[in-house]
Structure 1
C-alpha cells in the first residue's frame, strides 16, 4: 500500500473485522495510548463494530490533556508579564487554567502568539532582542526533539532572550503507572507509532514481560488500528505477551538515533505531573544543567503555585480509562468545546472532544456506525 486512502479501504477493513471476530472467544480490554488513535477509532466507529467481547479503553495519550494545571498557571503568569512575548501552538490557548486561559490573557493585552514551530519563536526572539520570548514546549517524545533542537540552536547562536517552558512527558512510564493502578482493567496496549518513530521499541519488551501484556506498536489509520487490535487479540487468546511492530513503514526498532541523541544532550529525565493522574516517576523531561539558563520556570521564578481542579469535570478519570466521556454528568452540558471544563474537551486529540464532535453522546450502539 502506497496511498493513504488504501488504509481506509472498507473491503480490507471487513476482512480484519472478520478475522478479529473469528479469533475472539472471551472478553478482552485493550487501551489505545494515543489521542490520535482515539479520534480515528471514534470517527470511524471502530469500537462499535468490534465484537462485543472487545472493549477499547481510551488512554492518556493526548499531550494537551495531560499538561498539568500547575504548568498552565505558570504559563499564564509568564505570559501576563509586559516584557514577554509568549509563543505556543494554537491548541494550548483554550486549555483552562485555574481561572482563565491564554486567550483570556491575550484579550487583556498580553503578547501571546500562535506559532507553527518552536523555531518560529526563536526567530521572534532574534527580531525582538529587548523582549523575553518564551515557547510553551509540551507533548510526548514526538514533539520533544524539535523543542530540544531549538534550545540547542539558541545556545549555539547566543540568543539569551529565548526560553522554553517545558512540560514534556514519556509514554513507557505512563504504561507502567497504568498497569500498577489497583483499578487497572487493561490487558493489552496499542502503542503510539509516532512516539516509536523517535524512540524505537527498546523500552517496551521489559514492560510487556513484567506486566504480562501484549504491546502492539500501531499507526493511526483505520486499517492500522484494526491490524493492531487483531494482533493484540491473537496474543491474548494464545496467552502471549510480546511486543510487535504493526507499523513498520514508519517505525524502526532503534527509532531515530539523531533525535534521541539531541534529546539526551538537551534534556534529562525527571518526575512529571500528569493532569488528572498525578505525578509519575521518571515520566518526563526537563532541561539538563548544560541548558538550564533557557528554562523559563527558572528564569521567571514561577514556583509554589497552588492549583485546584474543577470538582465537576471528570477528565482525570477519562484520561485513566476509568470512564468514557459520556459517563461524566457535565459532558455536553456544562462542558462543551465552546465552554470546556477540562483539557480533554479542548484538544483536537482529547477523548471528550472526539465524543462530542462525532455525536457519541450516550452509550455506543455497536450496530450504529461503519468504517470508511
Structure 2
C-alpha cells in the first residue's frame, strides 16, 4: 500500500533508532512528551519504546479530548439525553465514559434515553431532518482538529432553518493545556515535546513558538506513523544536544506553517473563548475552551436548556488525572487491569480510543509481562 507501508518499514525504523542511540549523550536524560493521543497509540502499537535507548523516556500527555473532559460535563450530557424531547448524537467513544455514580450515556441509552452513535456531524444533521418533533443535540468534543466540522454543522443548520438542531459544545484548545503542563507546580521535567500533527494542520506551527522561546523547549510536530515518530524523536535529541529550542515540522507532507486559515475562520465565525473551563486533571483553565457565539444561541444546547454545570470529583482510585499530566503511567494506577478494564472502565483514559490506559491495555501490558518474565 503506497505511502503507508513505507512509513512502517521495520528495517528503516531500526536504522533511525540506531542513529538515536548513537547520538544520545552519556549521562543525559531526554524526557519527551508525546502530546497527542494518536501518537500515544502509535508508540504503543508499534513498540517504539523498545527501540529507543534507556536515556530517552517517552511521557504521555493530555492530548486526548475524551480523557480531559471532566465528569461534570459527562453528567450534563446524560441529563440532556434523558430529556424526552431530545435525541443526543455522539461519537461512539463517549458512550462508555463514566459519569458520577458510574453512570454513562450507554447506561442512559439502555434505560430508554434516545442516544445515537454518529460518525460525523453530517449524520447528526440528518437525524435532525428526520426527527422534526425532537431537538437533536450533537455532543461536540475535541481539540482544534474536530472543531471546524462542528462549526460547519451549525452554519448548515442555520442556513436550512433547522431549528431543532443544537450543539453541546465541549471543544478545547491545545496551547492552554501545554501551558498548564509547563507551569504546574507538580510536573515532570521535559527536554522536548512531540507536537500534535492533526491539530497543527489547523492551527499551524507558529502557535507553539512562545513555548519554545519562553521555556527553551524543543518542539517537533510529528506525523503518526512509526518512522514519523522516530524521526521526530531524533530531531528533538539533536535540538537538545545542540542547545537549540525551536519549533520544527517533521509532518511536512501535511502541515503548512500557517495551518488552515479557512478552518480557523469558520471556527471564529461560530465560536468564542470561554472565560474558564474545567479540565480533568488541571481544574479550571482560563481561555482554554470554546462556546457558541450569542448570535447563534438558538443552536446552543446549554443556552436552550439552561443546562447547569456541577463540578464532580473523579473516582478516588482512578489515576487518570495524573496520567494526562504525565505524572503517572497507566501501570502506576492501582486499579489498572483489575477494577478498571475496557469492559468495565472506571476512568476515561481506559475508554477513549486515544487514551493512554487503553493503549497500554491493548499493547503495553504484554510488554510489561515479557519484561517481568525476563527478570
Greater alpha carbon shift after TM alignment, 237-246 vs 291-300: 291-300
Match of 2:248 in 1: 244
> Of 77, 80, 83, which residue of structure 2 is paired with 1:78?
80
Match of 2:284 in 1: 279
Match of 1:126 in 2: 129
Q: Distance in 1 between matches of 2:50 and 2:129?
A: 51
Q: Distance in 2 between matches of 1:304 and 1:325?
A: 29
Q: Secondary structure at the match of 1:55?
A: strand
Q: Where in structure 2 are the equivalents of 1:16-31 lying within 5 Å?
A: 16-25=16-25, 26-31=28-33
Question: How far did 1:303 drift?
Answer: 0.8
Question: How far did 1:102 drift?
Answer: 0.6
Match of 1:10 in 2: 10
Match of 1:152 in 2: 155
Question: How far did 1:368 drift?
Answer: 10
Taking structure 1 as reference, are residues 365 and 204 closer, same or farther at Cα in structure 2, changes over 3 Å only? Answer: farther
Greater alpha carbon shift after TM alignment, 175-184 vs 52-61: 175-184
Cα displacement string for residues 150-187 of structure 1 (whole angstroms, at most 9, x for unaligned residues): 01111111111111001111111111110111222222
Question: How far did 1:22 drift?
Answer: 1.2
Cα displacement string for residues 11-43 of structure 1 (whole angstroms, at most 9, x for unaligned residues): 111111011111101111000011110011011
Greater alpha carbon shift after TM alignment, 83-92 vs 39-48: 39-48
Match of 1:36 in 2: 38
Q: Distance in 1 between matches of 2:309 and 2:133?
A: 28
Question: How far did 1:292 drift?
Answer: 2.1
Q: Where in structure 2 are the equivalents of 1:329-340 lying within 5 Å?
A: 329-340=334-345
Question: How far did 1:366 drift?
Answer: 7.8
Indicate whether 1:182 and 2:185 are aligned.
yes
Unaligned runs of 5+ in 2: none
Match of 1:61 in 2: 63
Q: Secondary structure at the match of 1:360?
A: helix
Q: How many residues end up aligned between the 2 structures?
A: 369
Question: How far did 1:305 drift?
Answer: 2.2
Question: How far did 1:104 drift?
Answer: 0.5
Unaligned runs of 5+ in 1: none
Match of 2:196 in 1: 192
For the Cα contact (< 8 Å) 2:76–2:309, is it kept in 1? no
Match of 1:295 in 2: 300
For the Cα contact (< 8 Å) 1:43–1:358, is it kept in 2? yes
Match of 1:351 in 2: 356
Indicate whether 1:228 and 2:209 are aligned.
no
Question: How far did 1:103 drift?
Answer: 0.7
Match of 1:311 in 2: 316
Greater alpha carbon shift after TM alignment, 220-229 vs 64-73: 64-73
For the Cα contact (< 8 Å) 2:141–2:169, is it kept in 1? yes
Q: Distance in 1 between matches of 2:311 and 2:173?
A: 24
Taking structure 1 as reference, are residues 154 and 101 closer, same or farther at Cα in structure 2, changes over 3 Å only? Answer: same
Question: How far did 1:263 drift?
Answer: 0.4
Match of 1:107 in 2: 110
Q: Distance in 2 between matches of 1:363 and 1:209?
A: 37
Cα displacement string for residues 59-104 of structure 1 (whole angstroms, at most 9, x for unaligned residues): 0111111111111000000000111111001110000000200110
Taking structure 1 as reference, are residues 41 and 198 closer, same or farther at Cα in structure 2, changes over 3 Å only? Answer: same
